[in-house]
Structure 1
Amino acid sequence: MKTIELVGYGHPDRFADYISEKILIENLKKDQNAKVAAEVMVTRNVVFLGGEIFSKAKIDYQKLVYDAIERVYGQKWWPNYQKIKVINDINSQSPELIKIQKKEIVAADQGVIYGFYNQKRYERILMLYQIIDNLRDKFAIAPDWKLLFNQNLQELSISVCGIKKNKHNQIKLFLQDQFLKFNLKIDVIVNPKGEWLICGPLSDTGLTGRKLMIDTFGAGVSHGGGAFCGKDFSKVDKTGVLIASELAYKFAKAKKVKTALVELNYKIGDKIPKVIVRTYQNNKMDEFEYDDYKLSLNDWIKKSNVYNLDWSEIVLKGGVIFYLKDILK
């Protein structure tokens, strides 16, 4: 788990994630009992909205999309975006799924979900986002960027959009100086393919859930395969990651290990998952089933603050890490 990949919130896939979360948040603002599974595809001429929603809320989805584009790209990075077509094919959620949620929130689908804790990896991801924020304050780069950071090789490869080639060396020197503030001497490669001036959906198609590793803990950490974004809290692909990561943190502290991975198994309709714990120390893994977890999905949601947060803003910042960093202390 030595290499970290990140992409900016203007990356088309991350932008699709953002719209999906905006759909969730706008429905929950008007109906806290809303059940949402929103999928988005973004191209240069069309934004397609799909999925299933059960909600009393009345949402102007075209305005939601245009507001999202203005927030992330504006006219500078997506000229004349008001001319794009918004296709809304969101349907009502299956009445069979609605029925099982009437008494309390239970798992709306089956799933294998992983939570993870390693303080150093958390810190490195947050460090990289901070450095990119500093870069964007200094240079007028587009919100679409991508990087690979390998601490073993002491190397950062970063592609930034919107900057002419004659600025690349200035960016390299700036980033090297930023790493020195963290006592890291890093070789920086800027735009290995050369200039990149057309960003976001004008150059690539975006799809909800296609950056699911970046939304969570990055390459090298187990993932169940279910997307995090655009789903209400009955969807264990979302809530399960948060629950499992809290447990991973607790086991890491209790066992005095640096790394813990928690696997949750939910059947559709389950209140409480099966829990498997793996801890890692000195290249050794210890695995065991944890049968003492008794907190139902409904009760965890009640005790948490998940309904009080704007998850679209958390996605813009960088994903799950930006929720967990304030919880796991």
Structure 2
Amino acid sequence: MSQTSLFTSESVSRGHPDKLCDLISDTILDACLAQDPDARVAVEAAIKSQRLFLFGELTTTADVDPAELALQAIRVAGYDDPAWGLDTDRLAITIEIDRQSREIAAGVGEDGAGAGDQGLMFGFATDETTTGMPLALSLAHDLMERHDALRRSGSTWHLGPDAKAQVTIARRDGRPVGVTDVVLSSQHSPDLPLRQLRDILREEIVYPVLRDLRSDTERLQLNPAGTFHLGGPAADAGLTGRKIIVDTYGGAARHGGGAFSGKDPTKVDRSAAYAARQIARDVINRGWARRCEVQLAYAIGEERPVSVAFETEGGPAPTLIARFREAGVDLHALCIPRAIIDRLELRRPIYARTAAFGHFGREGFPWEAALA
């Protein structure tokens, strides 16, 4: 007998306070890597109202101005008009950034071969979509990207930078069969009546994204709480790394707990999560499973991972390491931090683009490419 269940994932806009902090952190990281590919960076941000706090560790020969880079990121996120509640001319910025601990630096090594910390990371892929991402999350990201494109086009200047989307899909026997609910909330100008806002959200964002997934029974909740004039840091505090489920798989797979943004690739929280995603997607692309979750675990300063483990649906998880070996792939060697960094070319300034709409399932990122 077939069984039907529901699954929900969410995404947020680049102007969401937490995502704003992710963008600030990754903008600083990119600026350092552009001048010094060997930079060691772990910079975080916290923001509330008209106060920004930048903190962390930075060891680099790059000459960067974290405060100016933060202001640049804030404008990119859509806060280029004080009307949205954040005035960059009045923003008070406090900076507490030190050099990386010598003990951590010694453990990692000059060439970045050793893991920058102990920890466990997960990668995931599914055949639900052509991008290998869970359908609910993929649609939620699409809604936020559509919202972003719409407000940047200038045709709907009434839409503010802060927004959230949530999508629920029905699954039958573990496979998606349709969309049941969409929740979408957008900050907006007081000049835009709520009824007109809801028309824009429905006609210009939701319907174009759902396309053939639309049905007569799906429920749309558009700004369900009503008006949303005050948003961004004026309404809620933001913090780097607080949207790790949005960043990864929308709850469809586990997460090791480590955030990504603001961290250079010697931090396995980031680089090994990218490697695990590449491995999981390769399993799906080879037809070895319908869903695949990969776990990597490391000890600080050690090169080879402590473990490489798989959980799959529709495939033989216990034999996957052997199957990769038969295909000429040594997964343990592949997951040495230096090998990950070199294979994926992670010392480049590519990270600001990851700060919104997810790190996975998007074109142009090397961890989405097939294993060589």
Q: Same fold (TM over 0.5)?
A: yes
Quick one: distance in 2 between partners of 1:217 and 1:328? 19
Q: CA 1:9/1:179 → structure 2, altered by over 3 Å: closer, same or farther?
A: closer
Query: Is residue 313 of structure 1 aligned with residue 343 of structure 2?
Result: no
Separation in structure 2 between the aligned mates of residue 213 and residue 290 of structure 1, nearest angstrom: 27
Alignment correspondent of 1:165: 194
More helix by share: 1
User: How many residues are treated as equivalent by the alignment?
Assistant: 327
Q: Output the TM-score relative to the length of structure 2.
A: 0.81
Letter of the aligned partner of 2:101 in structure 1?
Answer: S
The residue type paired with residue 155 of structure 1 is D
TM-aligned CA deviation for residue 241 of structure 1: 0.8
Q: Where do 1:73-222 residues align within 5 Å?
A: 73-75=79-81, 76-105=83-112, 106-120=114-128, 122=133, 124=135, 125-136=137-148, 137=150, 139-140=156-157, 141-152=159-170, 154-162=180-188, 163-170=192-199, 171-185=201-215, 186-222=218-254
AA of the residue aligned to 1:311: Y
Q: Which runs of 5+ in 1 are unaligned?
A: none
**Alpha-carbon distance, 1:246 to partner:** 1.1
Tell me what 1:243 maps to: 275
Which of these residues, 43, 62, 67, is aligned with residue 67 of structure 2? 62
Cα distance in 2 for residues equivalent to 1:18 and 1:10: 9
Q: 1:45 to 1:134 in 2, by over 3 A?
A: closer
Q: Is the alpha carbon distance of 1:26 and 1:146 closer, same or farther for their aligned partners in structure 2, counting shifts above 3 Å?
A: same
Check whether the contact 2:85–2:230 (CA below 8 A) recurs between aligned residues: no
1:49 to 2:54 alignment:
yes
Distance 2:349 2:35 in 1: 14
Q: Deviations over 1:173-201 (max 9, x none)?
A: 44453245233323211011100011110
Which range moved further: 35-44 or 246-255? 246-255
2:353 aligned counterpart, secondary structure:
helix
Q: Which residue of 2 aligns with 1:277?
A: 310
The percentage of aligned residue pairs carrying the same residue is 26
* Contact preservation (8 Å) 2:31, 2:349: no
* Change in 2 beyond 3 A, CA 1:61/1:127: same
SS of 2:122 mapped into structure 1: strand
Give the C-alpha shift of residue 5 in structure 1: 0.8
Gaps of 5+ in 2: 1-5, 171-178, 323-329
Report the aligned-residue RMSD: 2.4
What is the Cα deviation at residue 287 of structure 1? 5.0
Partner amino acid, structure 2, of 1:86: I
8 Å CA contact retained: 1:172, 1:189: no
Report the more deviating stretch, 173-182 or 4-13.
173-182
- Tell me the distance in 1 between the aligned counterparts of 2:144 and 2:243: 18
The CA distance in 2 between the partners of 1:199 and 1:212, in whole Å, is 21
Instruction: Report if aligned partners of 2:50, 2:87 keep a CA contact under 8 Å in 1.
Output: no
Which of these residues, 292, 299, 323, is aligned with residue 267 of structure 1?
299
Which amino acid letter does the alignment assign opposite residue 327 of structure 1? A
Cα offsets for 1:60-83 (capped at 9, x unmatched): 122112111221111142453211
Separation of aligned partners in 1, 2:367 and 2:340: 18
- Note closer, same or farther for the CA distance 1:176–1:300 as it changes in structure 2 (3 Å cut): closer
Letter in 2 for 1:143: P
Give the CA deviation at 1:19. Answer: 0.7
- The residue number in structure 2 matching 1:327 is 369
Q: Is the 8 A contact 1:217 1:321 kept in 2?
A: no
SS of equivalent residue, structure 1 residue 272 = coil
1:16 aligns with 2:4: no
After superposition, the Cα gap between the structure-2 partners of 1:224 and 1:166, relative to the gap in structure 1 and judged at 3 Å, is same
More displaced stretch, 197-206 vs 174-183: 174-183
Cα deviation for residue 126 of structure 1 reads 4.0
**8 Å CA contact retained: 2:119, 2:297:** yes
Give the match's secondary structure for 1:232: coil
User: 1:327 deviation in Å?
Assistant: 2.1
Question: Aligned partners of 1:55, 1:325: CA distance in 2, in Å?
Answer: 25
TM-score of the aligned structures, taking structure 1 as reference length: 0.90
For the residues of structure 2 that align with 1:48 and 1:189, how far apart are their CA atoms? 35
Counterparts of 1:5 and 1:42, CA distance in 2:
22
